[in-house]
Amino acid sequence: MHNKSPINLQQLFEEVLGKKVKDLNLPPPSFSIMKTTIIDFNIENKSLITKIPVLESWLNPYSSMQGGMIVGAIDNAIGPLSLLVGPFNVTRKIETEYIKPITLSTKYIYIIAKLVEQSGKRMFFEAKIVDEFKKVYVKAKATHWIIKKSIS
């Protein structure tokens, strides 16, 4: 997984959404702050993988990645995926299960996000954070609320 080339976010959104992308703030500032890159997108499987470096500035007093930064990393995968595979929507809830601490020795985390169901005005996602050896550190579930049929 660590050898994959980054995908250009702006290009990806333009290819999938066309002119609807003009009103979006791409890349979002959170992508820049967290140094997020998309390394895989599969429209058929409705999945996306991002790669984020583990930085010392994100550590808590126990020298592991701070929980809020972990949730931000998850949202940096599920958020773009939600716009690429569904109508305009917002995050309603993210449930996070921390399995193993993420430390500087991990170097990079990979967030694998997938749309598992769309029902009525809700979209349901699952995500997991893994390292380059696919060891799972965090699992998450997110519910998104569809607020408009289309972006523009």
- pLDDT tens digits along 71-123: 999 999 999 999 999 998 999 999 999 999 999 999 999 999 999 999 999 99
Q: What is the pLDDT of residue 19?
A: 78
Q: What is the pLDDT of residue 2?
A: 66
Q: What is the pLDDT of residue 20?
A: 75
Among candidate residues 72, 92, 73, the one with its CA nearest the CA of residue 144:
92
As a whole number of angstroms, the distance between CA 20 and CA 83 comes to: 11
Computed over every residue of the chain, the mean pLDDT equals: 93
Among candidate residues 35, 36, 57, 39, the one with its CA nearest the CA of residue 49:
39
Q: What is the pLDDT of residue 137?
A: 98
pTM for the model stands at: 0.91
- pLDDT tens digits along 16-31: 888 777 778 888 899 9
pLDDT higher for 138 or 25? 138
Among candidate residues 127, 119, 115, 105, the one with its CA nearest the CA of residue 46:
115
* Domains assigned to the chain: 9-146 (3.10.129.10)
Residues 94/79, Cβ–Cβ less than 8 Å: no
- The token duo for 52 is 């984020």
As a whole number of angstroms, the distance between CA 17 and CA 107 comes to: 33
Among candidate residues 69, 78, 92, the one with its CA nearest the CA of residue 41:
78
